Amino acid sequence: MNEQVLSMRGRFSAIFRQGRAWTTPPAIAAIFVLMILVALMTTPPPEPVPYDLDAAHPEGLLALRLWLEALGYDVRRNDGLRFTIPDKARLMFVYPNQLTYTAEEADRLRRWVQEGGTLALIGPGEDDRALVEAFGVALNPELRYERRMVQLLPLLPEGRSVYLRNWWSPIQTLDLSEAPQATPVLALIGASEDTASIDDLKIVVAAQPLGEGVVWHFAPGVDFSNGALREFAHGELTPALLRTTPEGSVVVFDSYHLFGFSRFGERIATLQDWLYRTPTGWATLFGLVITGVFWALSGRRLGPPVASAEEIRRREAAEHVRAMANLYRRAHVHAALAQHHAHRLKVGLARRLGVHADLPDEDFLEALVSASPSMSEAQLNAVRTMLRKFSEHPDERELVELAGDIDTLLESIR
């Protein structure tokens, strides 16, 4: 029976040691590496980010950026922590964004156009009400499938009169009802339509003069993306934008609102970018947080805990005396205190007069009478009275008074 008990204890000890082995730093590091590998294997490939200036996929803007740079324009991104417009900016592209404009930002953009800027506004979406209220142009909710886009006015002499598009790809049109100063430029027309009234036009491009500047409104299907420039010759629309943009001036793409605070689509150049903007980086941060919480709960900090000065301070000697005095007082035991003070009186007189302190009370009094220097009669009577009271078991009040009398008597005898 004892052997079975010892065997079970050995098994439990082994299991316990194996469990503790998982809490060692090498085991935790191995688990952490395993989590990263699992995150890498299960992370799906990133989806193409639309309107990315560095992307070559059909919805990217790499071709537009390279073309503007080849023409000598200074292409910039306003991707700081706050929305800003460079002082020398003459042309600005605003695409459907993740981060909506505030009323103050939309008003700042409108004032910049009024001062002479050229704005290429694609959209805006339904959520960006600040831009809709600032410029009065919105998108119609219904989708259209017409194949042809027809130039209504000769505002684009460099372009052709008809542009084709994919009929199976739906497109939204512009609502100019709140912007009477906006001029339609391109409109959708079906295959069987040759003309249409102004009220029935499905407008996809419009020009809106505003102060000294101009706003070009584009439906999301006419957005100068790589696919639109390659397949549908939308590059022929860009000279109209550059008429008011001198050669070598600053062209800005609103990356602040386009990518929002997440900054997806920007190039990952630092470790911080990798940690904040990739699933693997998120898994790494999550693993570090879990590890830190585990170590904190298991007591593993930066070395063993160090006791503070308050924790290692020893108790005062008087604390013991006070504690014992309180115990005696609560137990109503006064005999020991009376004996202590009587002995204190004898020791004090013996040191001053050269007599023995361990004599009985009567012998001690006789020794005081024959001592040299001698005590006065009043002092002898005081000593006799105090010794008698100590032998009669005084109460607390009498003990306090006798202790004070002893101090006064010893002070009077030098």
**Euclidean distance between CA atoms 95 and 89, whole angstroms:** 17
pLDDT tens string for the chain (414 positions)? 445 544 555 554 554 444 444 456 666 667 767 776 766 666 555 567 788 888 888 889 999 999 999 999 999 998 777 888 988 999 999 998 778 898 999 999 999 999 999 999 998 877 788 999 999 999 988 888 887 888 887 767 667 778 877 767 788 889 988 888 898 988 888 755 555 455 567 888 999 999 999 999 999 888 899 988 887 778 888 888 888 898 899 999 998 887 654 444 444 556 676 777 677 778 888 888 887 777 777 665 555 666 666 555 666 666 766 777 777 777 766 677 788 888 888 888 888 888 888 888 888 888 888 887 778 888 888 888 888 888 887 877 887 788 888 888 888 886
* Residue 269 within a domain: no
Cβ(403)–Cβ(336) below 8 Å: no
Same domain, 239 and 147: yes
Q: What share of the chain is helix, strand, coil (3-state, %, to 5)?
A: 45, 15, 40
Same domain, 406 and 258: no
Same domain, 172 and 26: no
**Euclidean distance between CA atoms 259 and 265, whole angstroms:** 7
* Residue 271 within a domain: no
Cα 275 to chain centroid distance, Å, stands at 15
Same domain, 349 and 208: no
- pTM, two decimals, is 0.55
CB atoms within 10 A of CB 327: 10
Task: Quote the domain boundaries for residue 92.
Answer: 62-262
Domain count, the chain: 3
CB atoms within 10 A of CB 258: 27
Same domain, 221 and 297: no
* Residue 53 within a domain: no
Same domain, 121 and 200: yes
Cβ(245)–Cβ(92) below 8 Å: no
Same domain, 251 and 288: no
* Residue 310 within a domain: no
Same domain, 237 and 104: yes
